[in-house]
Amino acid sequence: MIFDNKYICPPGSSYSHLESPDGKGNSIEVALMMEHRFVFYYWFKWSKYRFSQNDIAPALISIDWHQDLCSPCENERYDLEQLNDNSYYNVAKFSWDQLNPLNDGHILSAAYLNFIGDIYVLCKQDPVTLNPPLIDRCCGARSSSIRKI
């Protein structure tokens, strides 16, 4: 039996809720993972909540030795467009089975599906320019703003 709900946890990852100190019962979910690509699932999960609140895509701040900004190629974009994003299970399995295992394509794949918005990258490695710029499939004409710090 396949459980398809927001409590799915990809391999090597875990999550917890931190209560807000505002005293209003608010909390935020925090996730940790061993493989970079599994964050794709959590961005999807959190985007489902965001869309239910009519909120905008959150900005991402990435701090890493390398920038993790490989654009999805034509075949990868096709796979992303075929992804059943109504299923937590399918997205978790996609993160494990179909995202690039080199751990450098997850950020722009998530931006392509509009799970995340503007991207800020702090890295030691020499920056590489995105050419051509990534246009997300959701809005067509909108591209994520990427700033390397």
Q: Please tell me the total count of domains within the chain.
A: 1
Q: Would residue 120 count as lying in a domain? A: yes
Cα separations in angstroms, 18 against 54, 59, 82, 133, 149: 23, 20, 34, 36, 29
Q: Would residue 101 count as lying in a domain? A: yes
User: Quick one: tokens of 129?
Assistant: 């320019």
Q: Would residue 118 count as lying in a domain? A: yes
Q: Would residue 17 count as lying in a domain? A: no
| pTM of the full structure | 0.77
Q: Would residue 19 count as lying in a domain? A: no
Q: Which domain holds residue 120?
A: 35-148
pLDDT for 147: 61
Phi-psi region of 5 (alpha: psi -120 to 50; beta: other; left: phi over 0): beta
Q: Would residue 41 count as lying in a domain? A: yes
Q: How far apart are CA 77 and CA 62, in angstroms?
A: 22
Q: Would residue 20 count as lying in a domain? A: no
10 vs 149, more confident: 10
Please compute the mean of the pLDDT values over residues 6-18 and round it to a whole number: 84
In this predicted model, what pLDDT tens digit does every residue of 115-137 receive, in sequence order?
A: 888 888 887 766 555 545 556 66
Cα separations in angstroms, 92 against 19, 65, 66, 67: 25, 26, 24, 23
In this predicted model, what pLDDT tens digit does every residue of 31-89 receive, in sequence order?
A: 888 888 888 998 998 888 776 666 777 778 887 777 778 888 899 999 999 999 889 99
pLDDT for 36: 83
Q: Would residue 27 count as lying in a domain? A: no
Chain centroid to Cα 45, Å, comes to 9
pLDDT for 24: 87
